[in-house]
């Protein structure tokens, strides 16, 4: 989109001012909010608004911009959340003046909601692609939309219907859930449901303050006032909150490894973040509530705590579907990651698990061949018409197989299940790529790290290990 290219292109100029990609998208967020506030007539402290910035130049502009950020950060509600802890990254007044001019050229409030959202999402996508490691904040939108198509997060199910993402990043899953409602019902949405969609339905948690800020702005541009909590979801007790639907992609990796959450409601004590997120999701789902979680391969086969958490999941929930994602799904954000989506419902033990292999002999996702929603059409079709499939509703095919709970138990509860013969010398018909080799190494290192942390915990707790 031309608007995205125009605004994003200015970042190349700002590099010389010491502003990196993350700083740029953050400064854009502040300025976009001020411009929208003026267009929509939102109340701001006198003198700390868009017209005041637009009129100034030189050092008066940079000084007043910093004062504006400081003042708005003191306010309550969404205004204070957007500007909390905000700082100016501009050293050269001419660069700030130019960016204000670029934003001022567009009547943002007159743009269609979808267009505004697409512009900002486009900026976030470029940020995730350009900034190494930013993929943890950005789940590919074709995957989100496909997950929402089968999960059907329908507010008509209950008057207090709640959608939650405990690792919400920039809010992609929450927006995807709202967009599913608009796609499904369009103009047929009654006023009450539309009001609930704007406020009180979508919530999340985010550990990184700057990322939470981007998520709040993303939701705001989609005309959703989401409740995004700043904090560590797996470290904090849920205080009784429970949700009908949870859609999430918890951060991968071993950063923070060694920290075992002090949670009385966790059955399995482990430092593995993904395993703790599974336990957290089980706790905060309402009875009968449904979840879709994006998780790395090692969660499916790790021993010890991994096996215990899988057993807990299958005991307390109906783990009915696993979708094996193509290699490169997170390209260009995290190129070599191998991941899956686990679909489950709380309150019914697992009787059978259906696995859809969308990886073996599937072309890997690359920058030149990106992920598309169309790639998941067959999965959506065989998944079934209901968000929670019933026994005998499904039919096996080459890529979709049923495994009973007894068959899984015979595998020592290892859910890393494959049956298709790899027709290539490597993976996905193109040989083994370097990033895939690194991903395999990383997965094994993470598994080894988790095992060592568990052993260390046993020793520190004066267990039987000597």
Beta-carbon contacts of 79 under 8 Å, excluding residues fewer than 6 positions away, are: 44, 72
pLDDT at 452: 66
Residue 286 and residue 409 share a domain: yes
Which pairs from 392-401 meet CB under 8 Å and 24+ separation?
394/354, 399/356, 399/357, 399/358, 400/354, 400/355, 400/356, 400/357, 401/354, 401/355, 401/357
Same domain membership, residue 140 and residue 104: no
Q: Is residue 65 part of a domain?
A: yes
What does the DSSP 8-state code read for residue 187?
G
What's the mean pLDDT in 278-298? 96
**Segment holding 24, helix H or strand E:** helix 21-40
Can you tell me the distance from the alpha carbon of 234 to that of 117, in angstroms, rounded to the nearest whole number? 29
Range of the domain at 196: 134-446
Q: Is residue 333 located within the same domain as residue 427?
A: yes
Kindly report the pTM of this predicted structure.
0.88
* Separation of CA 240 from chain center: 23
- The mean predicted confidence, pLDDT, of the chain is 87
Same domain assignment for residues 162 and 84: no
Q: Is residue 66 part of a domain?
A: yes
Assess whether 63 and 172 both reside in one domain. Answer: no
| More confidently predicted of 77 and 3 | 77
pLDDT range class, residue 426, cuts 50, 70, 90: very low
d(CA 195, CA 383): 31
Residue with tokens 């003046």: 97
User: What is the distance between the terminal CA atoms of the chain, rounded to a whole angstrom?
Assistant: 62
pLDDT higher than threshold 90 for residue 111: no
Long-range contacts at 186-191 (CB < 8 A, ≥ 24 apart): none
Mean pLDDT check: name the lowest of 57-61, 178-182, 347-351, 387-391: 387-391
Over residues 131-151, the mean pLDDT reads 81
In a shared domain, residues 105 and 138: no
Query: Any idea what the CATH number is for the domain that residue 436 is in?
Result: 3.40.50.150
pLDDT digits (tens, 9 = 90+) for 219-277: 998 889 889 999 999 998 887 889 999 999 998 765 445 578 889 999 999 989 999 99
Which tokens is 434 given?
Answer: 């370097």
**CA torsion angle for 389, 391, 396, 399 (degrees, to 10)?**
40
In a domain, 455, yes or no: no
Of 28 and 300, which is predicted with more confidence?
A: 300
Q: What is the pLDDT of residue 20?
A: 80
Tell me if 105 is assigned to some domain: yes
Structural domains of the chain, count: 2
Sheet arrangement for strand 339-346:
225-230, 199-206, 163-165, 243-248, 285-296, 339-346, 317-324, 352-357, 400-404
Domain CATH number, residue 53: 1.20.1260.30
Residue 442 pLDDT grade (very low, low, confident, very high; cuts 50, 70, 90): low
d(CA 419, CA 77): 52
Q: Are residues 245 and 371 in the same domain?
A: yes
One domain for residues 395 and 339? yes
- pLDDT tens-digit series, residues 162-186: 999 999 998 999 999 999 999 999 8
Q: How far is CA 434 from the centre of its chain?
A: 26
- Tell me: pLDDT of 99 over 80: yes
- What gap in Å lies between CA 346 and CA 285, rounded to an integer? 7
Q: Are residues 60 and 155 in the same domain?
A: no
Whether residue 270 sits in one domain with residue 311: yes
286 and 385 share a domain? yes
**3-state class (DSSP) for residue 404:** strand
Q: Does some domain include residue 255?
A: yes
């Amino acid at each position: 989109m031309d608007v995205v290219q125009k605004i994003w292109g200015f970042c190349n100029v700002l590099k010389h001012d010491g502003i990196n990609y993350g700083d740029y998208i953050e400064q854009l967020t502040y300025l976009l909010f001020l411009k929208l506030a003026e267009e929509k007539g939102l109340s701001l402290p006198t003198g700390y608004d868009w017209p005041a910035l637009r009129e100034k130049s030189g050092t008066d502009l940079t000084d007043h911009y910093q004062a504006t950020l400081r003042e708005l950060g003191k306010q309550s509600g969404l205004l204070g959340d957007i500007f909390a802890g905000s700082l100016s990254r501009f050293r050269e007044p001419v660069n700030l003046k130019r960016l204000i001019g670029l934003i001022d050229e567009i009547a943002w409030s007159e743009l269609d909601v979808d267009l505004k959202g697409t512009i900002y999402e486009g900026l976030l996508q470029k940020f995730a692609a350009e900034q190494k490691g930013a993929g943890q904040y950005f789940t590919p939108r074709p995957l989100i939309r496909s997950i929402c198509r089968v999960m059907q997060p329908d507010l008509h199910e209950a008057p207090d219907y709640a959608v939650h993402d405990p690792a919400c990043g920039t809010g992609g899953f929450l927006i995807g859930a709202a967009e599913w409602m608009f796609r499904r019902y369009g103009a047929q949405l009654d006023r009450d449901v539309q009001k609930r969609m704007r406020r009180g339905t979508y919530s999340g948690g985010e550990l990184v303050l700057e990322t939470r800020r981007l998520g709040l702005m993303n939701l705001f541009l989609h005309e959703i006032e989401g409740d995004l909590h700043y904090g560590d979801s797996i470290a904090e007790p849920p205080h009784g909150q429970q949700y009908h639907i949870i859609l999430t992609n918890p951060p991968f990796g071993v950063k923070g490894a060694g920290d075992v959450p002090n949670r009385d409601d966790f059955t399995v004590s482990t430092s593995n973040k993904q395993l703790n997120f599974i336990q957290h999701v089980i706790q905060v789902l309402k009875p009968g509530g449904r979840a879709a979680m994006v998780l790395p391969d090692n969660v499916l086969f790790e021993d010890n705590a991994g096996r215990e958490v899988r057993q807990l999941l299958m005991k307390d929930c109906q783990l009915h579907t696993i979708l094996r994602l193509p290699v490169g799904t997170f390209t260009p954000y995290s190129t070599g990651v191998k991941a899956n989506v686990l679909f489950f419902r709380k309150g019914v033990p697992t009787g059978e698990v259906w696995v859809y292999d969308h990886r073996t002999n599937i072309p890997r996702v690359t920058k030149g061949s990106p992920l598309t929603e169309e790639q998941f059409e067959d999965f959506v079709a065989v998944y079934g018409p209901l968000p929670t499939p019933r026994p005998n509703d499904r039919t096996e095919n080459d890529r979709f197989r049923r495994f009973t709970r007894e068959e899984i138990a015979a595998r020592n509860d290892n859910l890393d299940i494959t049956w298709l013969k790899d027709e290539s010398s490597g993976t996905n018909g193109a040989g083994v790529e370097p990033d895939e080799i690194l991903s395999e190494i990383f997965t094994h290192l993470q598994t080894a790290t988790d095992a060592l942390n568990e052993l260390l915990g046993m020793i520190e707790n004066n267990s039987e290990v000597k």
